[in-house]
Amino acid sequence: MNSRALCTGYQPIFGMSRRQALSTFGMGLGGLALNGMLGREALASRSGGEVGGLLGAPHFAPKAKRVIYLFMSGGPSQMDTFDPKPMLNKMHGQELPDEVRKGQRLTGMSGNQASLPLAGSPFQFSKHGQSGLEFSDILPYTAKIADDLCVVRSMYTEAINHGPAVTFMQTGSQIPGRPSIGAWLTYGLGSMNENLPSFVVLLTKGKGGQPLQSRLWGSGFLPSEYQGVRFRSGKDPVLYLTNPDGIDSTSRRAMLDRLRELHELQFADTPDAAIESRISQYEMAYRMQASVPDVTDMADEPDYVFDSYGKDARNPGTYAANCLLARRLAERGVQFIQLYHPGWDQHGGLKGGITTQCRETDQASAALVSDLKQRGMLEDTLVVWGGEFGRTNYSQGKLDGDNFGRDHHPRCFSTWMAGGGVKAGTAYGETDPFGYNISRDGVHVHDLHATMMHLLGIDHERLTFRFQGRRFRLTDVHGEVVKGILA
């Protein structure tokens, strides 16, 4: 259909030429960004004129331009993956010594147990790469990229249950309501692709486990355009992205052209900036209808790429497919890509449970790092892998040989990072021989956040937003950049 051919009687009388309109409204020419463009208006009304958070330029030269955060929801067990504790195997079945526990609080799930028997890992550890980093045998692919990783073994948090702990890790506060880390960074950095959101969230489909809430990638008190846009694995990666059945893009384009003409007429009568903004909003929506499927349709990836991420990579919504999609998003300028993979909550049946978790994530996580490296993107992409807390060195419930579970443990856990200015091939921090407390170089959640922001060129103390009379920041009034992991 040629919509122009049908109507010849009408010419826009709006004082601006179409060419001018196109350049003004950012039809692929202007510098208006999907997230950034309307932020200012919203911010202005929201914070009484303050737009200070939006950085014209970073506070200092960034090492990383984007983040891919592989969030392992549920709390992966550190002593079964990255933090070998032979002492636990030696003392398997013996009571957790009081001098190790030091009376620190336990959850209501194991806190009332009459006995807390230590449990050694059922997995074998070995050293890998030139760095000699140790991994358990359920992480064979991650082990192969040992020399690209910085494993932090001394992470700690304050929360002891999933809700508060995930919220803390994702927003810097245990109580819901604060902006997520991705929202803060988007607020600080703006956008690099006007056709895609700056902050995209991907969840592994079909996983049980602890429920995740949209507020974890929400914008809290920041304007809503900074919230993460969750790409769904179904028909519409974005809410109502697809036209209604029966409407194709020619019909839609024709309708939008007429709608724009209506808006142009209106603007001619009442030249209000809000009308301009509405016009560009519709144009961008139309472009997203093409740009989002372009990134989510992975048919153009060669077989060897799919193979490197694992056979799941061909199945949309799996962790492997999401890792590959994350790389595609990163290539197109999306700055914060957050994956969630639930199911790491091994209160019982740890051996089988965590083996499955690793099978689902190990190959694709490693492939993502390698793929980025191969494309020369790893140096300015920060990849973070980790959960909200660790797990206890003792068995929750009965210890029956190597059939046991582990409860939540906030006092130490492991996280790895790669690329984006972190020291590769290192382990940072140490836990005690029981894997219960940190013995050296603890990294608090706020410190992790401060460090991530630092790598992106942001001073975590200076990226603030005023709400309810005070300046808020991701790291509250805490957080130290962990110098020891910077390259």
Partner 1 sequence: MFNPERRTQFLLVIVGLLVVVPTNAEVQYNRDVRPVLSDRCFQCHGPDSGKRKAGLRLDVASDAYANLAAPDEAPRRAIVPGEPQQSELLKRVYSHDPDKLMPPPESKIALTEPQKQILHQWIAEGAEYQPHWSFIPLKPVAVPKELAADAWCRNDVDRLVLAKLRETPGLNPAPEASREVLVRRLYFDLTGLPPTPEEVDRFLNEKSPLAYEELVEELLKSPRYGERMATDWLDVARYADSYGYQVDRDRTVWRWRDWVINAFNNNKPYDQFITEQLAGDLLPNPTDEQVLATTFNRLHQQKVEGGSVPEEFRVEYVADRTHTFGTAFLGLTLECSRCHDHKFDPVTQKEYYQLTAFFANIDEAGLYSYFTDSIPTPVLAIRNGAAKEKAAALEAAVAGEERALEQIKTEQRDAFEQWKQALTADEPVVEGELARFEFEDATNGHLANLAREDQPAKTPAANVLIEGRPGRGNAIQLTGDDAVTLPVGNFPRHQPFSVSLWMWAPDKVEREVVFHRSRAWTDSASRGYELLIEDGRLSGALIHYWPGNALRVQATDELPLQQWVHVTFAWDGSSRAEGLTLYVDGRPAQVEIVRDNLYKNITGSGGDNITIGERFRDRGFKGGRIDDFRVFDRELTALEVAQLYQPKPVPSIAKADDRLAYDYYLAKHNEPYRAQLAKLQEARKARNQDQDSVEEIMAMREKAGAPFAYVLQRGHYEGRSEKVGAATPAFLPPMSPGAPGNRLGLAQWLTDRSNPLTARVTVNRYWQMLFGRGLVGTTEDFGSQGELPVFKNLLDWLALNFIDSGWDTKELLRTIVTSSTYRQQSFVPGEIMTSDPENRLLARGPRYRLPAEMIRDNALAASGLLVEQMGGPPVKPYDVAESFTPSSPDSGDKLYRRSVYTYWKMSGAAPVMIALDAAKRDVCTVRRERTSSPLQSLVLLNDPQMTEAGRKLAENCMKKHGDKIDATIDEMFLRLTSKRPDARQVAVLRCLYSEQLAYFTANPASAEQFLKTGESPRDQSLAVPELAATAVLAKALLNYDECVTKR
What is the nearest approach in angstroms of partner 1 to the Cβ of residue 411?
Answer: 16
Non-local (6+) Cβ contacts of 454 within 8 A are 460, 481, 486
Closer residue to partner 1 in complex, CB, 399/417: 399
What is the nearest approach in angstroms of partner 1 to the Cβ of residue 259?
Answer: 5
Q: Scan for tokens 């700056």, then name that residue.
A: 198
Strand partners for 134: 127
Residue 99, class by beta-carbon neighbours within 10 Å (0-12 exposed, 13-18 middle, 19+ buried)?
Answer: exposed
What is the nearest approach in angstroms of partner 1 to the Cβ of residue 266?
Answer: 6
CA–chain centroid gap for 411, Å, is: 23
Closer residue to partner 1 in complex, CB, 86/177: 177
At 436, list the tokens. Answer: 């219960």
Q: Which helix (H) or strand (E) holds 273?
A: helix 273-296
Closer residue to partner 1 in complex, CB, 163/333: 163
Closer residue to partner 1 in complex, CB, 148/225: 225
User: What DSSP state is assigned to residue 97?
Assistant: P
What is the nearest approach in angstroms of partner 1 to the Cβ of residue 312?
Answer: 23
Residue 474: strand, helix, or coil:
coil
CA–CA distance, 365 with 221 (Å, rounded to integer): 32
149-156 and 426-428 beta bridge pairing:
parallel
CA–CA distance, 393 with 79 (Å, rounded to integer): 8
Closer residue to partner 1 in complex, CB, 36/84: 36
What is the nearest approach in angstroms of partner 1 to the Cβ of residue 15?
Answer: 14
CA–CA distance, 50 with 8 (Å, rounded to integer): 47
CA–CA distance, 233 with 317 (Å, rounded to integer): 5
What is the nearest approach in angstroms of partner 1 to the Cβ of residue 277?
Answer: 6
What is the nearest approach in angstroms of partner 1 to the Cβ of residue 191?
Answer: 12
What is the nearest approach in angstroms of partner 1 to the Cβ of residue 324?
Answer: 23
Closer residue to partner 1 in complex, CB, 66/408: 408
Closer residue to partner 1 in complex, CB, 7/487: 7
At 286, list the tokens. Answer: 């139309």
CA–CA distance, 378 with 238 (Å, rounded to integer): 27
- What's the half-sphere exposure (Cβ side, CA atoms, 13 Å) at 54? 21
What is the nearest approach in angstroms of partner 1 to the Cβ of residue 271?
Answer: 8
Closer residue to partner 1 in complex, CB, 430/459: 459
Closer residue to partner 1 in complex, CB, 258/423: 258
Helix-, strand-, coil-residue percentages of the chain, each rounded to 5: 35, 20, 45
Closer residue to partner 1 in complex, CB, 147/480: 480
* Burial state string for 333-361 with b = 16 or more CB within 10 A and e = fewer than 16: bbbbbbbbbbbbbbbeebbebbbebbebb
Q: Which helix (H) or strand (E) holds 140?
A: helix 140-144
The region, left, alpha or beta by phi > 0 then psi within -120 to 50, assigned to residue 353 is: alpha
User: What DSSP state is assigned to residue 243?
Assistant: P
Q: Scan for tokens 């494993």, then name that residue.
A: 151
What is the nearest approach in angstroms of partner 1 to the Cβ of residue 357?
Answer: 20
